[in-house]
Structure 1
Amino acid sequence: MKGLKKRRRIQVVVLAFAALATAFLVIFFFVPKDALNFFRSPTEVVTTPPDADEVFRIGGLVEEGSLKRGDGVTITFNVTDTNETVPVTYTGVLPDLFAEGQGMVALGKMQDGTFVASEVLAKHDETYMPKEVTQALKEQGVYKEPES
């Protein structure tokens, strides 16, 4: 009887390992690379430039006085974490709550030193700021708690 329990235990462990290995291989080989978007602050983008084809999220504050509307629906602005600043270009309609001095997160990739955004998200109420932006600002020592 003891030999049967030991064999079953070994079978369960081997089966669990095989299932984990299969799940890892499926995720690694079959999930598109652009499905995983990592967040970077402007300081991280400047100090460690991403690959040209890497899609990632950048977040921070829209720099005061940097918002410029171009021809049609092309908009340029700078995103900052108060340490470094990265220029951003976006073609499309910005969210209603998008404004200078406010928190934002954009999805896209770097091209010739400019972040070309395919999607821009803005805070959605008076006290909300994306957690990645809040964390990056806290690390820089410049985060101010919203007034209640």
Structure 2
Amino acid sequence: MKAKHQRLVLVVIALVALIGAGLLAAWALRSQASYFYVPEQMTSDPPEAGRAVRLGGMVEQGSVETLEDGVTIAFVVGDGKARVPVRFAGILPDLFVEGSGVVAEGRLGADGMFIADNLLAKHDENYIPRELQEMSEHQKREVVAETGGSV
């Protein structure tokens, strides 16, 4: 076999191996993907029960309720068009409050309740850490200057 043909065969084998590796990686990662839903999408076209997804929206005012076990909380996530009940057992993020944004990672139950495994609280662009809320503008600048940040 000529050297030209040997190189061609090696290139074809390398391409097949590369395509095979890419397909294998894509197949392995498909079950790890976590799709993002807003409440309107969750109610109109819900994912199959048990599939890992993310639900994002606003925690509705007056909906946060601590259940009788003292660890589990129930609340409602809404987007102005639809509402999804959520249940979470665990430690709440510091920024989790009614009326704020939240991303809940978990699964939709057969009863329509979203069972969250993890909560990510979102803050607005005007967020100020608790430590800086009581300080004057001058004190804030001094603290930020000491840490190397900017105001």
TM-score by length of 2: 0.70
Shift of 1:16: 2.7
Percent identity for Structure 1 against Structure 2 = 38
Rounded Cα–Cα distance in structure 2 between residues aligned with 1:15 and 1:105: 42
Rounded Cα–Cα distance in structure 1 between residues aligned with 2:84 and 2:66: 17
Shift of 1:56: 0.6
Superposed CA RMSD in Å reads: 2.3
Deviations 1:40-68 (A, max 9, x none): 11111101121112111101111111111
- Give the alignment partner of residue 46 of structure 1, picking from 43, 61, 68: 43
Shift of 1:22: 2.0
1:39-78 equivalences under 5 Å are 39-71=36-68, 72-78=70-76
Rounded Cα–Cα distance in structure 2 between residues aligned with 1:40 and 1:7: 51
1:85-124 equivalences under 5 Å are 85-111=83-109, 112-123=111-122
Q: Give the equivalent residue in structure 1 for 2:129.
A: none
Q: Could you say what secondary structure the match of 1:87 adopts?
A: strand
* Residue identity opposite 1:46 in structure 2: T
* Residue identity opposite 2:56 in structure 1: G
Structure 2: gaps (5+ residues):
127-151
Rounded Cα–Cα distance in structure 2 between residues aligned with 1:126 and 1:4: 64
Shift of 1:5: 6.1
Shift of 1:27: 3.5
Q: Give the equivalent residue in structure 2 for 1:144.
A: none
Stretches (4+) displaced over 4 A: 3-7
Shift of 1:10: 6.9
* CA 82–19 in structure 1, closer or farther in 2 if over 3 Å, else same: same
Rounded Cα–Cα distance in structure 2 between residues aligned with 1:81 and 1:17: 47
Q: Could you say what secondary structure the match of 2:22 adopts?
A: helix
Structure 1: gaps (5+ residues):
129-148
Rounded Cα–Cα distance in structure 2 between residues aligned with 1:127 and 1:4: 64
* Residue identity opposite 1:113 in structure 2: G
Q: Could you say what secondary structure the match of 1:20 adopts?
A: helix
Rounded Cα–Cα distance in structure 2 between residues aligned with 1:117 and 1:88: 7
TM-score by length of 1: 0.72
Rounded Cα–Cα distance in structure 2 between residues aligned with 1:41 and 1:5: 56
Residue 36, structure 1, aligned to residue 33, structure 2: yes
